[in-house]
Amino acid sequence: MQTGEKAVVTITGIAAGGDGVGRIHGAVVFVPGTCRGDVAEIQIEYVKSGCFYGRVLRFLEASKHHRSDFCDACGTCGGCNFAHMDYEEQRIVKRQIVADAIERIGGFHDIEVAETLAAPRPERYRNKMVFPLGTDQQGRPVGGFYAPGSHDLIPLADCRQGDTAASAWLSEAVSFLREHHVSVYHEATRKGLARRLFVRLAEATHQAMVVLTINGDSLPHQEELINRLLAVKTDYRLTSVMLNIHKEANNLLLGSKNKLLYGKDYIEDILGGFSFRISAHSFYQVNSPQTERLYQTAIDLASLSGGETVLDLYCGIGTISLFAAKHAGRVIGVEVVPQAIENAKENAERNGVRNVEFLLGKAEDIAPELKKEKPSVVFLDPPRKGADKKALEALVTMAPEKIVYISCNPATLARDLKFLCGEGYSLEKIIPVDMFPNTSHVECCVLLCRNEHASI
């Protein structure tokens, strides 16, 4: 088969990236926008490493798991690659994606993956929306999302992953840019001012932060932008407006410097009875109603007894640390982003939690020094690339009884579990948690216990 050729394919599974998987004469073919059970006529778009990548021309038999009412941009916008799939099927597929990674990458053959913990609200759940800005064919500013695998902007008036408040602020910001002929940043030329609109909402307090990232040091008519954003009627209260200075050619969402235009440079949210301050640069789980359940699942897996020393590596603003502190003797959190550590310290103080301390630095640099603290439980919640090998090696020499690994990437999770299980740990439980409905992303909570006879 060659690029451009047509074939009929039956979709039998879903790959980690969200594409449907079928076979043509024994070779694997990946087809986005499909469900298990689809029979589709496809066209081959390209061939890579012996696998075909195709596009649906028409469905000959559509799977019962299809839905067509989620979003008009389904298929063109790269935001939600499971928008076409009913929610129950998404849960089943995510469990399978985790099981496949654990088996194929981790080499575990007899591990039962638990059912995916469903999200309480499978739409309009995102508390953070980052809208890239671009221009339409007339050169006017627009905001929206990128098409799959590209930086072509798909303008969107509203996105069903986020609250309508986020869309309302985007629309107001775009009108402002148009009326004042503010230029929009173009990646190819690196010219133009406005780059992205970042909106963060605190569900429990209804506080909101809006940040405009710019390729420059100032914004013309900024007072008017502030007033216009403040005048937008939403269920949220705008308590923070900032400019973010982002002149680098990289893909990072935010540049390193913020300029406060209105209110505070953080918002406050409440989770598990604790109040959290969150800065623009700090990581905060995007699905608030499901976050408490994620943390509770992690805490339950640790079954803390009240007296132990606990390590929270990759602690962000100290959320898991505070949840764990209630049930432990002492908690030490480690995090690399200075604003997040600042938030974490304030959060502990403001909530009256005294048995926690926070250390700024890379987990891989700090973990080796923490062996002397003799932690018996370690929470490990790294970014998508997984834990650094040095951090894992330090964990092994520290030899905590339990490791609770919280992961947003089954592939790097499986890789790291393979390493830890080769070094004296056994994989006890793995629970997928759906933090990201309508996308193929899946979070997992994992319990590892140190084998009784493992040597250090």
In the bound complex, what is the minimum distance in angstroms from residue 290's beta carbon to ligand SAH? Answer: 12
Q: Which of 80, 340, 344, 403 binds ligand SAH (CB under 6 A)?
A: 340
Q: Which of 320, 331, 332, 370 binds ligand SAH (CB under 6 A)?
A: 320
Residue 16 near ligand SAH by CB under 6 A:
no
Say how far apart CA 355 and CA 348 lie, in whole Å: 9
Please, which of residues 211-250 interact with ligand SAH by CB under 6 A? Answer: none
Instruction: State which residue, 71 or 341, has the beta carbon closest to ligand SAH.
Output: 341
The residue written with tokens 């800065």 in the block is: 279
In the bound complex, what is the minimum distance in angstroms from residue 320's beta carbon to ligand SAH? Answer: 5
159 is catalytic: no
Instruction: State which residue, 100 or 364, has the beta carbon closest to ligand SAH.
Output: 364
Long-range contacts of 95-99 (CB under 8 A, 24+ apart): 95/432, 96/13, 96/14, 97/14, 97/15, 97/16, 97/410, 97/440, 97/442, 98/410, 98/430, 98/432, 98/442, 98/444
The 3-state secondary structure of the chain reads CCCCCEEEEECCEECCCCCEEEEECCEEEEECCCCCCCEEEEEEEEEECCEEEEEEEEEEECCCCECCCCCCCECCECCCCCCCECHHHHHHHHHHHHHHHHHHCCCCCCCCCCCCECCCCCCCCECEEEEEEEECCCCCEEEEEECCCCCCEEECCCCCCECHHHHHHHHHHHHHHHHCCCCECECCCCECCEEEEEEEEECCCCEEEEEEEECCCCCCCHHHHHHHHHHCCCCCEEEEEEEEECCCCCCCCCCCEEEEEEECCEEEEEECCEEEEEECCCCCCCEHHHHHHHHHHHHHHHCCCCCCEEEEECCCCCHHHHHHHCCCCEEEEEECCHHHHHHHHHHHHHCCCCCEEEEECCHHHHHHHHHHHCCCEEEECCCCCCCCHHHHHHHHHHCCCEEEEEECCHHHHHHHHHHHHCCCEEEEEEEEECCCCCCCCCEEEEEEEECCCCCC
Residue nearest to ligand SAH (CB): 316
In the bound complex, what is the minimum distance in angstroms from residue 434's beta carbon to ligand SAH? Answer: 16
| Active-site hit among 71, 74, 408, 445 | 408
In the bound complex, what is the minimum distance in angstroms from residue 326's beta carbon to ligand SAH? Answer: 16
Using an 8 Å Cβ cutoff, are 215 and 193 in contact? yes
Residue 383 near ligand SAH by CB under 6 A:
yes
From 133-141, 204-212, 278-286, 448-456, give the range in contact with ligand SAH by CB under 6 A.
278-286
Say how far apart CA 446 and CA 114 lie, in whole Å: 10
Residue 100 near ligand SAH by CB under 6 A:
no
Instruction: State which residue, 78 or 316, has the beta carbon closest to ligand SAH.
Output: 316
In the bound complex, what is the minimum distance in angstroms from residue 360's beta carbon to ligand SAH? Answer: 9
Instruction: State which residue, 92 or 336, has the beta carbon closest to ligand SAH.
Output: 336
Residue 304 near ligand SAH by CB under 6 A:
no
From 54-62, 84-92, 176-184, 336-344, give the range in contact with ligand SAH by CB under 6 A.
336-344
Q: Which of 31, 113, 315, 324 binds ligand SAH (CB under 6 A)?
A: 315
Instruction: State which residue, 104 or 257, has the beta carbon closest to ligand SAH.
Output: 257
The two three-digit tokens of residue 47, written as one number: 């061939």
Say how far apart CA 128 and CA 208 lie, in whole Å: 10
Residue 285 near ligand SAH by CB under 6 A:
yes
Residue 324 near ligand SAH by CB under 6 A:
no
Q: Which of 185, 266, 283, 358 binds ligand SAH (CB under 6 A)?
A: 283
Please, which of residues 354-373 interact with ligand SAH by CB under 6 A? Answer: 362-364
In the bound complex, what is the minimum distance in angstroms from residue 114's beta carbon to ligand SAH? Answer: 20
Instruction: State which residue, 34 or 244, has the beta carbon closest to ligand SAH.
Output: 244
Please, which of residues 63-82 interact with ligand SAH by CB under 6 A? Answer: none
The residue written with tokens 């393979």 in the block is: 418
Residue 336 near ligand SAH by CB under 6 A:
yes
In the bound complex, what is the minimum distance in angstroms from residue 335's beta carbon to ligand SAH? Answer: 5
In the bound complex, what is the minimum distance in angstroms from residue 415's beta carbon to ligand SAH? Answer: 16
In the bound complex, what is the minimum distance in angstroms from residue 133's beta carbon to ligand SAH? Answer: 25
The two three-digit tokens of residue 154, written as one number: 């798909």
Residue 316 near ligand SAH by CB under 6 A:
yes
Residue 390 near ligand SAH by CB under 6 A:
no
Q: Which of 173, 334, 348, 445 binds ligand SAH (CB under 6 A)?
A: 334
Residue 314 near ligand SAH by CB under 6 A:
yes
Residue 127 near ligand SAH by CB under 6 A:
no
Site residues, ligand SAH (CB under 6 A): 283-285, 314-316, 319-320, 334-337, 340, 362-364, 381-383, 388
Catalytic residues: 408
